[in-house]
Structure 1
Amino acid sequence: MVEHIVVIGAGVYGAAVTASLTRRGARVTVVDAGAPGSGTSGATFSWTNSCGKQPRPYHDLNVAGMQAHRQLAAEVPHSDWYHEGGNLEWAADDAEHEELRKKVAGVLDYGYEARWLSRAEALHLEPDIDPAGLPADGIAYFPREGWIEPTRLIGHLLSSAVSHGAELVHDDPVTGLDSTAGLVRTVRLASGRQLSADAVVNCAGPQAARIAEFAGLVLPMRNTRGVLIHTSPVAVSVSRVIHAPHVHLRPDGAGRLLLHSPETDGAAYVSDTGDISVEPSAVTRVLEAGRALYPGLRAATVESVRVGERPIPSDGLPVLGRAVELPNFHFAVSHSGATLSLHAGDLVAAEALGEDRVEALAAFRFERL
């Protein structure tokens, strides 16, 4: 019988798993090396989508993740962390447009909502865009997509879990796991505390491979860095996620915008002091691209730059559910955690308590790696 579950990591996955476990009546301790939401979950574009994700089981998992966000937002009064404003995307040249056309055709074939807009239709949705920055047509619109504010969501999930008896341990890294008879029995912390466990859920994000190693398991990961630029407050109307050729952006609360460009991710480097820094010229290029698209951004300055480490299993797909050779050790690790965490976290929590989720998790088992 599962009496006490230790969840490692208090980001969006750890918070979602913990909340689901406590709703089901489990006794849970969630531990984190830092503060809740201070890792990847606090440095993410947090776009909720299933736009072009393959194969089909992965697409369907993301669609279910989007629905889980809608459902929670509808159930919780003042759930202001969830924003379903849609996503606009267009291409820079013919080759990129052909790729976008294939993506739209693919999601439409799956029954996913998408349609093509003209420049005038896009400007009706985003009137502050410079018309010269838009093509005459061929603008893809995905109306059910959006974004979340991860730390606000984490706060809700953890406060709900703690109010139902969960214990939150922060700033206390996991230093080891003790196993006997093919099961994890103890989670050891840097403070010297030892937590007895009937089950363990690995929600450690970029550190998931290290936690798996403590359990004697090899989790191949190919983590990448993501550079996010937060602007100062600016009087510009941006209501949805924008994927333009040279800049991605979305609202970030209190009049701020969040900017990103894949080209800038490679500008992050480890400095002589061991800190992660970003080439200033790369940040300037992204801000200038944003200003070119939204002229009202000319008054904006860079308020902060954050670098997150994206946890990506080696084949790009999530790793979810129990490990066969260590059946009380469970994974909840993936890219797209902002989209997936509520739904996938609930599936993992249910399985950790002995419920049958074999079919739902079949495509995402650790053993495939």
Structure 2
Amino acid sequence: MAASAVVVGAGLYGAAVSASLTRRGARVVVVEAGAPAGGTSGATFSWTNSCGKQPRAYHDLNVAGMEAHRRLAAAVPDSDWYHESGNLAWAEGARLGALRDKVAGVLNYGYEARWLSRAEALRLEPDLDPAALPADEIAYFPREGWIEPTPLIAHLLANAVSAGAELVRNDPVTHLETSGGTVRTVHLASGRRLSADAVVNCAGPQAGRLAELAGLTLPMRNTRGVLAYTSPVAVSASRVIHAPHVHLRPDGAGRLLLHTPELDEAVRVSDTGELTVPSSAVERLLEASGALYPGMKGATVESVRVGERPIPSDGLPVLGRAVELPNFHFAVSHSGATLCLHAGDLVAAEALGDDQSETLSPYRFERF
């Protein structure tokens, strides 16, 4: 059993793995290149779901992730980061067929979903413009919702630190010293060297680079995600909404969080690597949101964030130990908002010697 661990990354996965490790009695150092929640976890739509995820094992893993959120929220008094208020989705044209297939697929798995009429959807979201809704075939997934990543990360890291973990900020990993099929030492930019019985790669978009430092090749196909945060708006919006031209959800203090794939595609990269989002694309997204919620008239976009989604090349998570380096472990995936608590706990257990192959075998690094 590993007595000590270095967790690289203090986003959702890093915080969840660290909290689980310390709860299990390990001595933990959490190493973050910047600030906790300052990377992808601070710029995510953070929709909790298992809506159309394939194959079945991956669907089930996400369902278990949703249940882990419910358990934690129920166990922590005054927890304010978990919102299970449901997801409404509708589509047009060819995409309606895909939505029908998605609903049929999840119903076949026993996942909660049903079709609503316009009147039924308006009872849930009364400030939606009726003219923006189809007469029927509005999909409703009542157990879905979203998390607020930063408060959740703060809770998990506070628990870890109170149990003895050390949190190292603004000190990136520069080198991993390996010998005899084991990671021996983690070198930091500050010059500090950390020895540990286990190292867990929770580096998100930088997971491939960290794996490379360990002599492993982790193929990633990261994508950019753009989120727009509105000014406070006097509308009653309490659910995740997936409409044809905008995705949105509440974001606290009366603000809405807006997204659409078209906004992701609008990102421009300068010769120096600076990322910008054209104001015209942001305005189109705001207009599409206002067409759904007329009460948004006069709203502005207060900020735009560009995040990088960590996506392994086949789209599935990479979880658990590496055979070539059995004390080097992965907790890397898209859908980290849904999976972090459950998958992070499985990875932590395996890092401490408790084999989790029954669940993690489809997500091993060696499949590449």
What TM-score do the two structures reach when normalised by structure 1? 0.99
Return the alpha-carbon distance in structure 1 between the equivalents of residues 281 and 180 of structure 2.
Answer: 52
Aligned to 2:16: 16
1:269 positional shift: 2.0
> Identity across aligned pairs (percent)?
79
**TM-fit CA distance, 1:274:** 3.2
User: What's 1:345 paired with?
Assistant: 344
Give the corresponding residue for 2:5.
5
**Residue in structure 2 matched with residue 78 of structure 1 by the alignment:** 78
What is the CA distance between 1:275 and its match in structure 2? 2.2
Q: Matches of 1:277 and 1:257 in 2, distance apart? A: 21
Q: 1:20 is matched by which residue type in structure 2?
A: S
Deviation at 1:273, TM superposition (A): 4.7
Q: CA deviation at 1:298?
A: 1.3
Alignment partner, residue 303 of structure 2: 304
Amino acid at match of 2:302: E
Q: Tell me the CA shift for residue 356 of structure 1.
A: 2.1
Inter-partner Cα distance in structure 2 for 1:172 and 1:270: 26
Match of 2:190 in 1: 191
* Residue 164 of structure 1: aligned partner: 163
Q: Which amino acid aligns with 2:62?
A: N
SS in structure 1 at match of 2:297: helix
Equivalent residue, structure 2, for 1:235: 234
Matches within 5 A, 1:55-134: 55-93=55-93, 95-134=94-133
The secondary structure found in structure 1 opposite 2:327 is: strand
- Deviation digits for residues 156-189 of structure 1 (CA, Å, limit 9, x no counterpart): 0000100000000010000010011110010000
What secondary structure sits across from 1:326 in the alignment? coil
The aligned amino acid for 1:2 is A
Counterpart amino acid of residue 116 in structure 2? L
2:253 paired with 1:248: no
Measure how far apart 1:98 and its partner are. Answer: 1.0
Q: What residue number does 2:353 align with?
A: 354
RMSD over equivalenced CA pairs, Å: 0.7
Matched residue, 2:217: 218
Which one-letter code corresponds to 1:203 in the other structure? C
Q: Corresponding residue for 2:54?
A: 54
Task: State the shift of 1:299 in Å.
Answer: 1.9
> How big is each residue's C-alpha offset from its partner over 1:293-344, in whole Å with a ceiling of 9 and x where there is no partner?
1001112100000000000000000000000010000000000000000000
Distance 1:274 1:216 in 2: 27
Deviations 1:77-118 (A, max 9, x none): 11100000000000122x211111110000000000000000
Structure 2 SS opposite 1:299: coil
CA drift at 1:272: 4.5
Tell me the distance in 2 between the aligned counterparts of 1:273 and 1:315. Answer: 30
Given residue 312 of structure 1, which amino acid in structure 2 is its aligned partner?
A: I
Residue 29 of structure 1 aligns to a residue in which SS?
strand
Moved more, 355-364 or 209-218: 355-364
Paired AA for residue 87 in structure 1: N
**Equivalent residue letter for 2:2:** V
CA distance in 2, matches of 1:13, 1:269: 29
Shift in Å at residue 11 of structure 1? 0.2
| SS in structure 1 at match of 2:326 | strand
What is the CA distance between 1:253 and its match in structure 2? 0.3
Q: What number of residue pairs does the alignment pair up? A: 368
Given residue 350 of structure 1, which amino acid in structure 2 is its aligned partner? A
Q: Which amino acid aligns with 1:29?
A: V
Q: Which residue pairs with 2:329 in the alignment?
A: 330
User: Could you tell me which amino acid in structure 2 is paired with residue 238 of structure 1?
Assistant: A
One-letter code aligned to 1:34 = G
Partner of 1:260: 259
- Which stretches of structure 1, 4 residues or more, deviate above 3 A after TM superposition? none
Secondary structure of the equivalent of 1:304?
Answer: strand
**Residue 150 of structure 1 corresponds to which residue in structure 2?**
149
Q: Does 1:283 align with 2:282?
A: yes
Structure 2 match to 1:37: 37
Separation in 2 of the partners of 1:186 and 1:278? Answer: 40
Structure 2 segments unaligned to the other structure (5+ residues): none
